[in-house]
Amino acid sequence: MALSQTGHRRNALWTAALIHRVSGVLLALFLPLHFLVLGLALEGEAALGSFLKWTENPLVKFAEAGLVFLLAVHLLGGIRVLVLENLVWRDAYKSAATVAIAISFGVGALFLFQVI
Amino acid sequence: MAKPKPALNVSIWRGRTDGAYQSFEVPRQDNQTVLDVVTYIQRHLDATLSYRFACRVGVCGSCAMTVNGRPRWTCRTHVSRVTDGDDTLEIGPLGNLPVIKDLAADMRPFFEKWQKAGGKFEASTDRHAPMAAISPDGPKRAAASKAIECINCGICYAACDSVRWNVDYLGPAALNRAWTLQNDERDAGHAARLRAVAADGGCHSCHSHQSCEAHCPANLNPTESIAGLKRMTVQAYIRGELEAEVE
Amino acid sequence: MSAIRTATRLYVLQRLTAAIMGPLIIVHIALIFYATHDGLTATEILERTRGSTIWFGFYQLFVISAAVHGAIGLRSVTNDWITDRPAALNAIMWGTGLLLLILGTRAVIAVIAPGAA
């Protein structure tokens, strides 16, 4: 039987830190693909163009919105860390973390709304 | 006559790192702490239960255990605050530490890391020198005073996932103490201690989850202290002062 | 190389590249919204980037920063969740960094260099 010792994770800042980490990993995995797609331009405009046609598929749009969300949330989480480590401590940082995640959802949703 | 309260269903960890939760029924009282519950079990139900406590009033930190998954001082945790109306309680030893037996965790790794982080004051004078004139309001002293009340209970260490995931990580308490000493103008060990906290497993392994700050019963903020150490190490690095010790 | 300076150096580089990329990402996201608001075509992208020194500077800085930041970040995650063996950690770090740097620079050249029709 295992000891149950993970109750400490039920707090907003821990969740924010985990989302920050997971979004970073996913972005790192996505980036080579992004670079490969852009690299299609080496074969000429048509090569890139036909790939972009494929991305008009709604499922792809949904995935892209997800990526925009990941980027926004990783950026905001990173700003939290930079502020926390370099500026004077404020207790308001706790709620700022929740606000940051909400803003990121907003940015991702806005993107989806625009491209669908 | 008042309706008798339902008994508490208490699961207590028995064994070492390998073991199991054992169930007990404990009569409920009006003003009852989790430490009262553990004591009741040991005195009336099972004398073989091992646990640690000392002051029972929240000044020594010895009674820290995992209660419903979270590290807490059991003498300062009222049962009514952690049972949520369902009368169950799960109690285990403090996390991220080897288990000696039942509810007693082995604090040695915690204290070894304390020493490794330079958690010891290094004197720069002797008893014959005049008292150091340090204003309590100066920024360094204020920073040290803010973090100085740590009684090494181990709760922050148990709550920290960086401790859990990174076996070398010195941990919030050790680094918090190092921060207070780096701000102590009387201390002569600043350079060596900065090297200790800048090494692998030092302050840079903190990812600012802030679980330490959320759980510290003394309301300390190791994340803030560690952020201070990060700034110190970066400044030293840029100025070329972070030299390795000659092997 | 001193392990102490290495740990601190990795930390400094991680935070520095993060600070550099902050403004770059904001521009990038704004650009994504602007570019996609009436459909995205290769022509539109390349018209903006081909032969542009400014966009070259922007994207190459972005690529270098992302390569360093991603490499050090993955090293941290690997250390916490997979293994703490230094050889493995360094392999993952250098592998990620070089992969991102090479593919990224190739992508920058692809969209900047005046090219095939």
In this prediction, residue C43 carries a pLDDT of: 78
Q: Tell me the mean pLDDT in the region A101-112.
A: 75
Is residue A114's pLDDT more than 90?
A: no
Is residue A2's pLDDT more than 90?
A: no
Are the CB atoms for B207 and A17 separated by under 8 Å? yes
Grade residue B232 by pLDDT with cuts at 50, 70 and 90.
Answer: very high
Question: For residue A104, how far is the Cα from the chain centroid?
Answer: 8
Residues in B touching C81 (Cβ below 8 Å): 165
Bridge partner list, B20: B14
Whether the CB of A92 is below 8 Å from some CB of chain B: the reply is no
- Taking the CB of residue B15, how many other CB atoms lie within 10 A of it? 15
In this prediction, residue A51 carries a pLDDT of: 82
Is residue B162's pLDDT more than 60?
A: yes
Is residue C112's pLDDT more than 60?
A: yes
Q: Which of A34, A52, A115 sits opposite C42 (nearest CB)?
A: A52
Are the CB atoms for B95 and B159 separated by under 8 Å? yes
For C64-75, how does the pLDDT look when each residue is reduced to its tens digit (9 = 90+)? 999 999 999 999
Question: For residue C112, how far is the Cα from the chain centroid?
Answer: 16
Residues in C touching A63 (Cβ below 8 Å): none
C106/A35 Cα distance (integer angstroms) = 8
Grade residue C117 by pLDDT with cuts at 50, 70 and 90.
Answer: very low
Bridge partner list, B23: B11
Averaged pLDDT score across all residues of chain A: 82
Q: Residue C75's closest chain B neighbor by CA?
A: B205
Grade residue B247 by pLDDT with cuts at 50, 70 and 90.
Answer: very low
- pTM for the model stands at 0.90
Which H or E run includes B88?
A: strand B88-92
Tokens (6 digits) for C109: 């050249």
Bridge partner list, B73: B64
Whether the CB of B197 is below 8 Å from some CB of chain C: the reply is no
Grade residue A47 by pLDDT with cuts at 50, 70 and 90.
Answer: confident
Are the CB atoms for A20 and A73 separated by under 8 Å? yes
Is residue B115's pLDDT more than 80?
A: yes
- Taking the CB of residue C80, how many other CB atoms lie within 10 A of it? 18
Bridge partner list, B67: B70, B91
- Taking the CB of residue A52, how many other CB atoms lie within 10 A of it? 18
Grade residue A98 by pLDDT with cuts at 50, 70 and 90.
Answer: low
Residues in B touching A11 (Cβ below 8 Å): 210-211, 214
Q: Best residue in B208, B231, B238 to probe A by mutation, most A CBs within 10 Å?
A: B208
Is residue B242's pLDDT more than 90?
A: no
In this prediction, residue C37 carries a pLDDT of: 76
In this prediction, residue B246 carries a pLDDT of: 45
In this prediction, residue A93 carries a pLDDT of: 62
Question: For residue B144, how far is the Cα from the chain centroid?
Answer: 18
Q: Tell me the mean pLDDT in the region C83-109.
A: 95
Is residue B4's pLDDT more than 70?
A: no
Q: Which of B165, B168, B234 sits opposite C8 (nearest CB)?
A: B234
Of the spans B75-84, B110-119, C51-60, which averages the highest pLDDT? B110-119
Whether the CB of A54 is below 8 Å from some CB of chain C: the reply is no
Instruction: Report strand pairing: B64-67 vs B88-92.
Output: antiparallel
Q: Which of B92, B221, B227 sits opposite A5 (nearest CB)?
A: B92
Which of B6 and B234 is assigned the larger pLDDT?
A: B234
Is residue A89's pLDDT more than 80?
A: no
In this prediction, residue A116 carries a pLDDT of: 63
In this prediction, residue B244 carries a pLDDT of: 61
Is residue A4's pLDDT more than 80?
A: no
C39/B3 Cα distance (integer angstroms) = 71
Tokens (6 digits) for B202: 């030092």
* In chain B, % of residues over pLDDT 70: 96
Are the CB atoms for B117 and B200 separated by under 8 Å? no
The interface predicted TM-score (ipTM) is 0.88
Residues in B touching A1 (Cβ below 8 Å): 19-21
* Coil/strand/helix, residue A93: helix
- Count of A-C CB contacts under 8 Å: 96
Please enumerate in sequence order all residues whose Cβ is within 8 A of that of A116, keeping only pairs 6 or more positions apart, or say none: A58, A61
Q: Tell me the mean pLDDT in the region B163-182.
A: 96
A10/B82 Cα distance (integer angstroms) = 14
Is residue B157's pLDDT more than 60?
A: yes
Tokens (6 digits) for C48: 């903006």
Which H or E run includes B45?
A: none
Whether the CB of A58 is below 8 Å from some CB of chain C: the reply is no
Which of B40 and A97 is assigned the larger pLDDT?
A: B40
Contacts with B, C 17-46, CB within 8 Å: none
Amino acid symbol at C41 = T
Amino acid symbol at C14 = Q
* In chain A, % of residues over pLDDT 90: 21
C-alpha distances (whole Å) from B67 to each of A11, B38, B60 are: 16, 11, 18
